[in-house]
Every structure is written in structure tokens, then in C-alpha cells.
């Protein structure tokens, strides 16, 4: 990778404090630390405390580690669904979550929205034991609104609500009384090396997994929710985890908490606002997501059409590396991650360069 | 962790070249490299080439990545077993492999040997579709002999033979015509930060997984063998993997291959020989594994009884950190990893210090 500013939506540019933390980690022997040591337990504990502060997680929620958000899709289906899950699908990643339910032999229902669109308020009925939502569809830059996410708990009190927040956290402020689980991977908004997924669950999720287990349903082996929680209570993991990744996460969440969730949110909104504004004013670029309330603040997608290569070339000569469009939109769109590691100054520079392209 | 030499059998002391590779990785932007980039593909390719050379893997075998050897236990059972697996159990880790088969709803048969012992040549019959062997039982320091491992292929040509080589590779030289799969995690013999498992499989394993899938058996989702192999053919992974971990593995296997498998083997055997000799000559220490042919070359277990604390204290004041005994043997045994990162000089020093304790 050439030096410059990386705007690809994941793996993202590292959070600016990571280099220092890595150096310190190697000096302190973290990469060869036993996952059964007191020192590891205190790293786990510190990660939980930092995330709880940063994301304002209420008591009654537990934080466990998997290898990736992809793994968490699988574990959610295995542990929280006996027969039927209901998925809101509006892009490649929400679709993959749905497909995993099918692969695991569940009856998966989907409500679909067109690419680049969000959903109407849900007025139908569902028998799904799980409502699977993707807060931020990384492929298209569509975000679900908080009222949309929050409607399900009241309508379907027996269903569990799980939210994929892979490319949005730590930006969004979820109402944890309206959701049962939320998860992310660290290589996006948290700006860390890939190889770690973070799964946040409440007691209802644990109860569901225990109930499936007691009925004789196979819910996995080492990474069942009961097994993850049994170890989490000791600040340990069932298997040897990515110890270095957990250490780095603990450091970065504390850095972010010191800066403050509010400051991160304000900055994110400012950067999103100036980029969307520039796209709207542009001669030939425009925001891909038409409806303003559905536009992601953290993954901003530009419709660049036949100018895609030209724009990419100009940006790259200035050391700015945009993400390509996803899948079939590779050659006609550009995606810009707007994560906490991207400074206001970097975004202002990006906007200046983009606006000058005619 | 205090500075010193770490002899715990995993996570182990880092291989001595890792620090440099990490520095270079961060300089080159590896931690934020896309797993869909050409550069990632060439890292994957290079890891395969290095491992193929170092472990002398014949053509027809594929190398895929999981998050841990624990995950690979689960994936092996899901992908290679329809109904029944047969496990050789002589310690905590081989037992865990067996238990995972039960958790996944399979009929798991076990042949057991007592703690600290290996097995008699197998003269029975088995209907197991999979023979699950643990080359090196990390909990007790017992290794299976090559004739023991190699007997099954001829006796049970329809069964697949999978070998857990977590705490022995890269030392052992397997006869790949007698096994179908072998796997390890990187934080032991390869001296790398934890968070990556390496799964080596032949075409028969892939065929078995495809056959289960075509029968409608659920074999998982993103990490089914057909999915892993589909991506491996492009030098990619289904999910965003531990990119930094794979990069570091590629570097270390080439370092080791340059040194040569033969040289690593000779050194390992020399270090094991002097430590076992010292234990046999010692006033109150002795090797835990009685039968010489069953003694692991890579995890050497000393019976230290009531002297355990005394020996540990002396070693630690000299900067030598032994591993504790495993489980109930925590207070009466010490374990010494003998991995490629441990130099002859370090082992000679360890032996001198141990021999002086009376």
C-alpha cells in the first residue's frame, strides 16, 4: 500500500494511536501472553469497561469475542434461532446474514429493499424468533434509522433483535432497551488490524441459547453462547484468542472514550455533512443514496458513473485512496469510510480535491 | 511478563524474527490491507509455498486458514463426519476434540490411554468415518509414534485420518500418504502471536464435505470446506481474516525454510535429549512420560512433585519461565516447550540451572 490516507470502508486505515500501542505490546510481551493469565484477564476486563463507557452499554449485557463479524452471524443463528429468523435485506452484507441462516438449516424470512434504499416502517407480522438488522449496509451506504430499529421490540416482544453494526460503531448511539444484541468487527470504525469480532448480548440471548441446548438442539461447540459466557465471567475465552487484537482494542476504546463519544459523533457528522454537500454540489458526482435520512454517516457512497476512473486517479495522485464500489457497482461508484481515525482536516482536504475535479 | 526466556508450551515465546517482521508490516500498511487485494493474494500464496517447502507437503493438499486450532476441531467434525468419528484420547486436548464431536451431535467413539501413556498398536475394528489423532498431547507431553499414526490408512482405507499437530509442528515429518488432514495453531512451534489456525486437507476431505453437503447435511456456513477451498483457489479467504497473522506466518515459514527443516529437527532433538538426560540424572526430578519412544520432543514434562515451587522459583530468578503442569497436575509438574525459537544455548543454560538445583 502506498503511503496516503486510506478511505476504503474496511479494512480501514488504522486508528492513529495503534502504532504506539503495538510497539508497547511487543515490549511488554503481550503477543506471547497466556490467555489463562491474570494479565490477560485484566486486559479483557479493561476492554469491557472501555466499551461499556464508550458505547454506553447498560448492565445486563455481556461482551464476548469471536474471530470476525462473519463468525458472529453464524453464532447468532446457531444460538438464538431454533426454527425461524427474519432478515431485513438491502445489500450484500444483510443478504449474507440471511444466507447463513439458510445454510444452517433454518427457515429464513426476508423483507427486501432495493439497492440504495432503506425500508418502510414494518407493519406486517412475523413469526421469526430473531429480527436480524444491518444498521449500516457497507455495500451501498444505507443506514437504518433509530426509529426503524427500535420499532420491533414493542411489536414483537418475544423475538430477539440483533443488530449488525460492523461499519458504523462507535458512531451510533443505540437504545439498548430496544435491542438484544449488537456486534462489530474491529477493522472498520475502531481502526484496528482485522481478526477480531465483538459480540454484545443480553441475558435474553443467553436464555435462548440455554433453552435450545436443553431441548437437545446442537448450538455449536467451543463458541456456544453459554460457553462464551461461562469464560467471560472469568474474563477469559474458551479458546486461545487473538490476544494482541484484544489488547489493542482495549487501548483504542479507552483512547476513544477519553476523547468522548459525543465528540466522535459530532466530528463524524461534520465530516459526513461536508462530503455529502460536496457531492450534491458536484458537476457530475452525486450521493448514491437519494433519501437524506437513509444516508450512512460512516460509509459515504458516491455515484461516479463513467467518471469513476478519472476521479480515482486524481484522488490517488493526491494520496487519497477511496474504496471501490461493491460488487457490480465496482466501476460506477466510490465509497468513502468516515471513521474516527479520519480527521476533520483529512476530510476537508478530500472535499477540496473532489470539488476541484470537473 | 518479565523479560526472560518463556518455556510455556503456548502461547510460546515469539520466534526471534517476528519483531522485525511486525515493524515492517506496519511500515508497509499490512494491518489495513484489503483481504480482496492482489497484495493479500500474494501473501497467501507465499504462505502456502513456504509451508509446502518447510513441511514437505505433496501436491493434492490445500492450506486454509481458521481462527484457531479449536475452530479447526469443530470444522473437521462438521465437514468430515456424517455420523461417527473415532478418537484416540490420552489427555485434555485429545479429549476436547472428542467432546466437540459429541457437542455437534455425532456418535463419537474413543480409545483411551492413561495420562502420560500412549496407545498399543490398534488391532480392533472401527466404523468411524474419521480417525482423530493428537500427535502431541500438550497436557502431558506424550507423542504418538509415526508407525502408530501410519497404521490406520491401510487398515481402514475408507476412513479419513486427521492429525492434531498443534504443539509439535514444524518438528515432525509426516508421511502425507498416510494422513488426510493435519492442523496447527501458530502460537506454539511457529512462535507467532495467537489468533490463527492452519488447516491442511487433501482432496478426499473436500470430497467428503461435498458429499455431506449434497446429502443435505448442514456442514456450517462461511467456513465449510467447499467455501474455504473455493476462496483458497484465488488465494483468498471467505471472511476478513487475521491478515497480519497470515503475513507474519508467511515470513516466519520462509525464515524457517531457509534454515531448513532438517536443521530445525536436529536442533530440536539435541535440546530434547539434553533436557531428558538432565531429568533422568536429577536427584528429585524425572521425566513424566516413562516410555522413551512416547516422549514428546517439543513439550517436555518434568515430574517435580513437592519440589515444584522451589524449582519454579530458582528458574524464574535466572529469567527462565517454565510452564505449569496442566489441570490437576499444575502443582506437581513443569512443562518445557522446545520450539524452534528456543536456541541450543538457552536449552544448555536451562539444563545447567536445573541440574544445579538439589
The whole-number average pLDDT for the span B335-346 is: 97
Closest-CA residue of A relative to B323 is A34
Between CA B33 and CA A160 the distance in angstroms is 35
Q: Is the pLDDT of residue B31 over 90?
A: yes
Nearest residue of B to residue A238 by CA position? B70
d(CA B215, CA B207): 12
**Residue A47: CB atoms within 10 Å:** 23
Using the beta-carbon criterion (under 8 Å), do A18 and B28 form an inter-chain contact?
Answer: no
What value does the CA radius of gyration of chain A take, rounded to a whole number of Å?
A: 20
Residues of B in contact with A218 (CB under 8 A): 103-105
B217 → chain A, closest CA residue: A105
With beta carbons less than 8 A apart as the criterion, state whether A295 and A286 touch.
no
Choose among A101, A49, A62: nearest CA to A79. Answer: A101
Which of helix, strand or coil describes residue B171?
coil
Residue from B27, B244, B330, B341 to probe the interface with A (highest A Cβ count within 10 Å): B244
Q: How confident is the model at residue B2 (pLDDT cuts 50, 70, 90)?
A: very low
CA distances from A134 to A118, A173, A202, B304 (A): 11, 15, 18, 55
Q: What is the 3-state secondary structure (H, E, C) of B274-301?
A: HHHHHHHHCCCCEECCCCHHHECCCEEE
Mutation target vs B (from A73, A97, A239, A327; most B CBs, 10 A cutoff): A239
- CB contact (8 A) between residue B22 and residue A22: yes
Lowest average pLDDT, out of A3-12, A326-335, B176-185, B341-350, goes to: A3-12
Grid coordinates given for B242: 487475521
Query: Which one of B14, B221, B241 has the shortest CB-CB distance to A100?
Result: B221
Partners of B271 in the beta sheet?
none
**Which chain B residues have a beta carbon less than 8 Å from that of A10?**
240
User: What pLDDT shows up at residue A313?
Assistant: 97
Please provide the distance, in angstroms rounded to a whole number, between the alpha carbons at the two ends of chain B.
Answer: 27
Question: In this complex, do B31 and A13 lie within 8 Å of one another by their Cβ atoms?
Answer: no
Please list every residue in chain A whose beta carbon sits closer than 8 Å to the beta carbon of residue B33: 1, 11
Q: Which chain A residue is nearest to residue B9, measuring alpha carbons?
A: A34
Q: Which residue has the higher pLDDT, B12 or A151?
A: A151
Cell of A33: 501472553
For residue B71, give the H/E element and its range: helix B69-80
Coil, strand or helix at B110: strand
CA–CA dist B169, B185 (Å, integer)? 9
Q: What is the pLDDT of residue A12?
A: 84
Supply A173's cell numbers.
448511539
Q: Which residue has the cell 489423532?
A: B133
C-alpha to C-alpha distances, B164 to A221, B136, B143, B168, B192, nearest whole angstrom:
17, 8, 11, 9, 18
- How far apart are alpha carbons A132 and A73 in whole angstroms? 9
Rounded to two decimals, the pTM is: 0.96
For residue range A79-130, what is the model confidence (pLDDT) as tens digits? 999 999 999 999 999 999 999 999 999 999 999 999 899 999 999 999 999 9
pLDDT at A1 over 60: no
* Rounded Cα–Cα distance for residues A147 and B178 (Å): 60
Name the band, by pLDDT with cuts 50, 70 and 90, for residue A2.
very low
- Best CA proximity match to A257, nearest among A100, A107, A51: A51
Integer Cα distance of A50 and A200 in angstroms:
13
With CA atoms as reference, the chain A residue closest to B243 would be A194
- CA distance linking residue B78 with residue B71, whole number of Å: 11
Distance CA A91, CA A176 (A): 25
Q: Which residue of B has its CA nearest to A220?
A: B104
Chain A: residue nearest B190 by CA? A32
C-alpha to C-alpha distance for B118 and B147, rounded to whole angstroms: 12
Task: Note whether A103 contacts B220, CB cutoff 8 Å.
Answer: yes
Q: Using CB atoms, pick whichever of B26, B31, B222 lies closest to residue A100.
A: B222
Q: Is 60 exceeded by the pLDDT of residue B85?
A: yes
Whether A194 and B240 lie within 8 Å, measured CB to CB: yes
Question: Which chain B residues are within 8 Å of A190, Cβ to Cβ?
Answer: none
What is the pLDDT, as a whole number, of residue A283? 95
Residue A27: the pLDDT is 93
- In the β-sheet with B107-112, what is the strand arrangement from edge to edge? B61-66, B197-202, B181-185, B160-164, B130-134, B84-89, B107-112
Q: Compute the nearest-CA separation of B8 from chain A (Å).
A: 8
Q: Is B81 exposed, middle or buried (0-12, 13-18, 19+ CB in 10 A)?
A: buried
Tens of pLDDT, residues A216-244: 999 999 999 999 999 999 999 999 999 99
> What residues of chain B lie within 8 A of the CB of A224, using their CB?
103
A1/B70 CB distance under 8 A: no
Residue A337, pLDDT > 60, answer: yes
* 0.90 surpassed by complex ipTM: yes
User: Who among B13, B28, B221 is closest to A74 (CB)?
Assistant: B221
Which of B221, B231, B322 would best serve as a mutation to test chain A binding (most A beta carbons within 10 A)?
Answer: B221
Rounded to whole angstroms, the Cα distance separating B173 from A210 reads 43
Q: Measured between CA atoms, how close is A240 to chain B, in angstroms?
A: 7
Q: Which residue of A has its CA nearest to B34?
A: A11
Closest CA to B334 of B274, B275, B264: B275
Nearest by Cα to B208 from B229, B186, B178: B229
Taking CB atoms and an 8 Å limit, are A18 and B8 in contact across chains? no
CA B91 to chain centre: 15
Interface test with B, best of A2, A222, A335 (most B CBs within 10 A): A222
Run of H or E including B153 = helix B146-155
Q: pLDDT at position A3, please? A: 61
- Tens digit of pLDDT for each residue in B95-126? 999 999 999 999 999 999 998 999 999 999 99
Residue A212, H or E segment = helix A203-214
Strands of A207-332, DSSP E: 286-287, 299-303, 320-321, 323-324
Q: Measured between alpha carbons, how far is residue A184 from residues A40, A173, B343 in Å?
A: 21, 14, 41
Judge: A221–B33 Cβ closer than 8 Å, yes or no.
no
A171 backbone dihedrals φ, ψ, rounded to 5°: -65, -50
3-state secondary structure of B344: helix
Q: How far apart are CA A300 and CA A295, in angstroms?
A: 7
Confidence band for A358, pLDDT divided at 50, 70 and 90: confident
Say whether B303 sits in a helix, a strand or coil: strand
Secondary structure in 3-state letters for chain B: CCCCEECCCCCCCCCCCHHHHHHHHHHCCHHHCCCCCHHHHHHHHHHHHHHHHHHCCCCCEEEEEECCHHHHHHHHHHHHCCCEEEEEECCHHHHHHHHHHHHCCCEEEEEECCCCCCCCCCCCCCCCCEEEEECEECCCCEECCHHHHHHHHHHCCCCEEEEECCCCCCCCCCCCCCCCEEEEECCCCCCCCCCCEEEEEEHHHHHHHHHHHHCCCCCCCCCCHHHHHHHHCCCCCCCCCCHHHHHHHHHHHHHHHHHCHHHHHHHHHHHHHHHHHHHHHCCCCEECCCCHHHECCCEEEEECHHHHHHHHHHHHHCCEECEECCHHHCCCEEEEECCCCCCHHHHHHHHHHHHHCC
Residue A179 DSSP SS3? coil
Q: Tell me which H or E stretch contains B85.
A: strand B84-89
**Contact present, A194 and A165 (Cβ < 8 Å):** no
Residue (of B64, B114, B68) closest to B88 by Cα position = B114
Q: What are the pLDDT digits (tens) for B231-261?
A: 999 999 999 999 999 999 999 999 999 999 9
CB-nearest to A70 from B192, B239, B245 is B239
Q: Give the closest residue to A222 by CA, choosing from B187, B197, B170.
A: B197
Paired sense of beta strands B160-164 and B286-287, if any:
unpaired
Inter-chain residue contact B13 with A22, CB threshold 8 Å: no
Longest dimension (CA), chain A: 64
Q: B221 vs A73: CB contact, 8 Å cut-off? A: yes
A–B CB contacts, 8 A cutoff, strictly below = 173
Q: Which residue of A has its CA nearest to B245?
A: A195
Element holding B107 (H helix, E strand) = strand B107-112
The grid coordinates listed for B169 are 509442528
Amino acid at each position: 500500500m502506498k503511503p496516503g490516507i486510506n478511505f476504503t470502508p474496511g479494512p480501514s486505515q488504522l486508528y492513529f494511536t495503534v502504532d504506539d500501542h503495538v510497539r508497547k505490546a511487543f515490549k511488554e510481551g503481550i503477543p506471547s501472553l497466556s490467555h489463562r493469565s491474570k494479565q490477560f484477564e485484566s486486559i479483557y476486563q479493561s476492554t469491557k469497561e472501555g466499551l461499556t463507557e464508550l458505547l454506553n452499554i447498560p448492565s445486563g449485557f455481556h461482551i464476548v469475542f469471536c474471530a470476525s463479524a462473519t463468525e458472529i452471524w453464524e453464532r447468532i443463528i446457531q444460538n438464538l434461532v431454533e426454527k425461524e429468523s427474519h432478515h431485513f435485506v438491502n445489500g450484500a452484507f444483510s443478504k449474507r446474514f440471511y444466507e447463513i441462516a439458510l445454510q444452517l438449516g433454518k427457515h429464513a424470512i426476508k423483507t427486501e429493499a432495493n439497492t440504495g434504499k432503506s425500508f418502510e416502517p414494518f407493519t406486517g407480522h412475523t413469526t421469526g424468533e430473531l429480527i436480524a438488522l444491518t444498521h449500516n449496509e457497507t455495500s451501498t451506504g444505507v443506514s437504518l434509522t433509530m426509529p426503524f430499529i427500535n420499532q420491533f421490540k414493542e411489536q414483537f416482544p418475544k423475538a430477539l433483535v440483533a443488530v449488525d453494526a460492523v461499519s458504523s460503531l462507535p458512531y451510533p448511539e443505540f437504545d439498548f432497551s430496544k435491542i438484544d444484541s449488537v456486534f462489530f468487527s474491529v477493522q472498520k470504525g475502531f481502526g484496528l488490524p482485522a481478526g477480531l469480532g465483538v459480540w454484545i448480548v443480553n441475558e435474553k440471548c443467553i436464555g435462548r441459547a440455554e433453552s435450545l441446548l436443553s431441548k437437545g438442539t446442537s448450538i455449536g461447540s467451543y463458541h456456544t453462547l453459554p460457553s462464551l459466557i461461562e469464560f467471560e465471567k472469568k474474563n477469559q475465552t474458551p479458546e486461545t484468542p487473538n490476544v494482541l487484537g484484544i489488547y489493542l482494542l482495549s487501548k483504542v476504546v479507552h483512547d476513544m472514550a477519553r476523547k468522548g463519544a459525543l465528540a466522535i459523533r459530532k466530528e463524524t457528522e461534520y465530516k459526513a455533512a461536508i462530503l455529502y454537500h460536496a457531492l450534491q454540489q458536484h458537476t457530475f458526482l452525486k450521493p448514491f443514496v437519494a433519501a437524506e435520512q437513509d444516508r450512512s454517516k460512516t460509509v459515504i457512497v458516491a455515484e461516479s458513473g463513467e467518471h469513476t476512473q478519472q476521479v480515482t486517479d486524481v484522488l490517488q495522485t493526491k494520496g487519497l485512496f477511496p474504496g471501490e464500489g461493491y460488487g457490480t457497482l465496482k466501476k460506477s461508484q466510490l465509497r468513502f469510510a468516515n471513521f474516527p481515525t479520519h480527521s476533520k482536516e483529512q476530510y476537508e482536504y478530500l472535499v477540496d480535491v473532489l470539488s476541484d475535479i470537473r
